[in-house]
Amino acid sequence: MRDPYTVLGVPRSASEKDIKSAYRKLAKKYHPDQNPEDPAAHSKFAEATNAYDLLNDTAKRAQFDRGEIDADGNPKFAGFHPGAGGQRGGRSTQGGFTAEDILKEFMSGFGGQQRGAGAGAGRAGAGGAQWDPFAGTASPGGGARAMKGEDVVVNATVSLEDAHKAASVPVRMPNGKVLSVKLPEKVEEGQQIRLKGQGSPGMGEPGDALVTVRFEKSKQFRRDGADLRTDVPITLYEAVLGAKVRVPTLDGSVELNLPPGIDTGKALRLKGKGLYGDGDLYANLKVILPPGGDADLEALARFMRDQKPYKVRD
């Protein structure tokens, strides 16, 4: 993978907020759901996700910045130290490596024979395994890591309530297995959660599962960024005389005092009751008339119309 800072288009000094913001923009632009017929977009989305996974992990980011791991999170090859003296493989290096030592050091980067190992350890027919750099694996007895399985991408449709509480939700894998996945704090639409070792099996370790979060449509709330809106039905007499009504929120219902003669054309604002507490909740009061009509109410309405008319519009 390319340098993760380059992939996300941020400097190495970027803050966590800058990194998250850059990833959101790329994820929105290249997400497979937005580009179902564009393999290049799928590739860029996966690349951006991998870059974000590395830089969003404080420990891994520090290791990458120090040059200890590469962009895929794998440890880097330590390299050579030609100035070291002493004995190597039974021969004096006289302040440097012999050609055989350099070859052994090179092969150790592929899981082959280490410096100082016996001469026959990495040769075919000597009880060991011959490393094939083109096959990507080692024959039985070798020390190379076999090829990793492929990653799989699955969607997790979650409710606003579960996202708000960072709850654990069930996610069904392509193989039919159901996993319980803990949602991150303040999870965003389209954000991916990486599950190590839950992907397709390979010749070595299995791949990972990339769980893409989708918010399901709520029957109770309408989302506007971090703000939420909900409808609260009330009776006519509650609007006229005032009342105590219960208003649903993501944290449970709360009781709200309605003053007499309240104007139902305006929404009531409940500060800090939006998604993740970052936004507000707006309760729209809706007067519900009795089903089938009411003779007394109709008589009262006629009396008010004839005796004391008032305007609600110009």
Rounded-to-integer distance, Cα 304 and Cα 58, Å: 68
Q: What integer is the mean pLDDT of 202-217?
A: 88
pLDDT digits (tens, 9 = 90+) for 131-155: 444 344 444 444 445 688 888 888 8
Kind of pairing between the strands at 152-158 and 227-234: unpaired
How many percent of the chain have pLDDT more than 90? Answer: 32
Mean pLDDT of 291-308: 78
In the predicted structure, residue 290 carries a pLDDT above the cut 70 = yes
Residue 199 exposed, middle or buried by CB count within 10 Å (0-12, 13-18, 19+): buried
**Mean pLDDT, to the nearest integer, of 86-104?**
44
Residue 14 pLDDT class (50, 70, 90 cuts):
very high
Listed residue (154, 181, 186) closest to 169, CA to CA: 181
Could you tell me which residue, 208 or 296, shows the higher pLDDT?
208
Long-range CB contact pairs, 10-16, < 8 A, 24+: 12/65, 14/55, 16/56
Most confident range (mean pLDDT) of 4-18, 21-35, 37-51 is 4-18
pLDDT at 254: 92
- Of the pLDDT bands very low, low, confident and very high (cuts 50, 70, 90), residue 130 is very low
Tokens 């970052």 map to which residue? 278
Q: What is the pLDDT of residue 60?
A: 92
Is residue 125's pLDDT more than 90? no
pLDDT at 225 over 60: yes
Packed helices 16-30 and 39-55: angle between N→C axes, nearest 10 degrees: 160
236-277, pLDDT tens digit by residue? 888 888 889 999 999 999 998 988 988 887 788 999 999 999
Nearest to 249 by CA among 233, 272, 267: 272
Residue 314 pLDDT more than 60? no
This prediction's pTM: 0.51
Mean pLDDT of the chain, nearest integer: 78
Rounded mean pLDDT, 158-162: 92
Apex 265 CA angle, 263 and 270, nearest 5: 85
Is the model more confident about 118 or about 28? 28
Averaged pLDDT for residues 8-13: 93
Q: What is the pLDDT of residue 100?
A: 52
Express as a percent the part of the chain with pLDDT over 70: 75
